Structure 1
Amino acid sequence: MDIARVFCETFNIAETDAQKFNSKFVHESLPKNSYFLRTGERCSKFSFIASGLVRVFAETEKKEVTQWIGNAGYFLTDVSSFLFQQPARWNICALSETTLWTLSYDDYIHFEKDLPEWNMLEKRFVAKCFAMMESRIFDFISLSAEERYAQYFKLFPHHFNQVPLQYIASVLGMSPETLSRIRAR
């Protein structure tokens, strides 16, 4: 996996600038059921998922809430914890054997000195995160449970064979029973 190519495609930057990332990202394996991050820790890494599946979730007094299920091709971090170095709200756990390309917080900070365009790239990354969040909020307030299911299935059909359905139901903001009824139709 060439992380430079990922940065070229994701952030629309020149290959020569993107090559500066290759030496800073290190290969990391995350065994199934192991944690990338636990609630209360400070997130010290920013990763790209090369293969595998991860779940981002929190535990409340009443239940576990799955915020996101990530797969190959997505970036992985607890944005608030990583950027502001505050305790993480989320647990991040591997649902399968997962391969990551990981950048440390210290190297992330040093990119500002090494790469003149870094502030623009960081802005694009945060904007992409915000746009995803905005889209998800819109879906929750404007789509029915059936429409959210159909949209998720269209985007992530492979999750339905690899991820426990209660996690998918949680991502969709519904009970496992509601998800089962929708799937039966």
Structure 2
Amino acid sequence: MTALEKYITTFFGEIPETDLKTIVSLFKHTTMKKGDYLLQTGKVCERLSFVHEGLLRQFVATPEKDITQWISTSGYFSGDLSSFVTEAKSELTIQALVDTEISYISKHDYKLLGEWVPKWHEIEKGFIIKCFIMMEQRIYRHLSMTAEERYEYYFEHNKELFNQVPLQYIASMLGMSPETLSRIRKKANS
């Protein structure tokens, strides 16, 4: 079983093997170089990507600063789901922070899943629900936790990123300044 197949079955539950093979067959594999863009602000998101290896940073550029929304690591999907579904222009930019291997499905091929996989609409509903739950939990943590608690939670679940990603991106994602993150890290390490 490939990493993508494992992720799909872990995330969505049991899917008949023939349907799983059909789903995975519509994904194409590619490598992105550090600095390459998966999506740029103002463009419609035309594909959803699964990260095999590497890091993709999702961010919004404002006149004052870039705000990191998420960093996709191995085993996660990346894309602007809202833009992908509604075909609205994206406010996000998605960029490879390191050389990154992905598998992606185009909007065209994604639409074929509804025709080729009998229970696709059920599977898709499960995917969207899980995305919504993850976002809801993240918002709750952001609103209910102190800066120190957000740092501790994120560090506990993403230790490897602290050596791979510029700390200003992590600080932005956690809703704090780089100086605050530095102070919290120093306090946590003492």
Quickly say closer, same or farther: Cα 1:2–1:169, change in 2 above 3 A: closer
Is 1:4 the counterpart of 2:5? The answer is yes
The answer to whether the 8 Å contact 1:2/1:22 transfers is no
Q: Which amino acid aligns with 1:84?
A: T
1:11 corresponds to which letter in structure 2? F
Query: When the two structures are superposed, what TM-score results if normalisation uses the length of structure 2?
Result: 0.94
Percent pairwise identity: 45
Note if 1:109 corresponds to 2:111: yes
Equivalent residues, number: 185
In the alignment, structure 1 segments of 5+ residues that lack a partner are none
Aligned-partner Cα distance in 2 for 1:10–1:43: 22
8 A contact 1:4–1:15 mirrored in 2:
no
CA distance in 1, matches of 2:143, 2:137: 10
Corresponding residue SS for 1:49: strand
Q: Which runs of 4+ in 1 moved over 3 A?
A: none
CA distance in 2, matches of 1:179, 1:77: 27
Q: 2:71 aligns with which of 69, 72, 90?
A: 69
When the two chains are superposed, the root-mean-square deviation of aligned CA atoms in Å is 1.0
Aligned mates of 1:77, 1:172 — CA distance in 2: 20
- The 2-side partners of 1:28 and 1:139 are apart by 34
Q: Distance in 1 between matches of 2:9 and 2:126?
A: 12
Taking the aligned partners of 1:182 and 1:6, their CA distance within structure 2 comes to 33
SS at match of 1:147: helix
Q: Distance in 2 between matches of 1:101 and 1:149?
A: 30
Matched with 2:32 is 30
Tell me if 1:149 matches 2:172.
no
Name the SS of the counterpart of 1:112 in structure 2: helix
Q: Take 2:3 and 2:92, find their aligned partners in 1: how far apart are those partners?
A: 28
| Cα deviation, residue 128, structure 1 | 1.2
Aligned to 1:123: 125
1:81 pairs, out of 69, 83, 91, with: 83
Shift of 1:60: 1.1
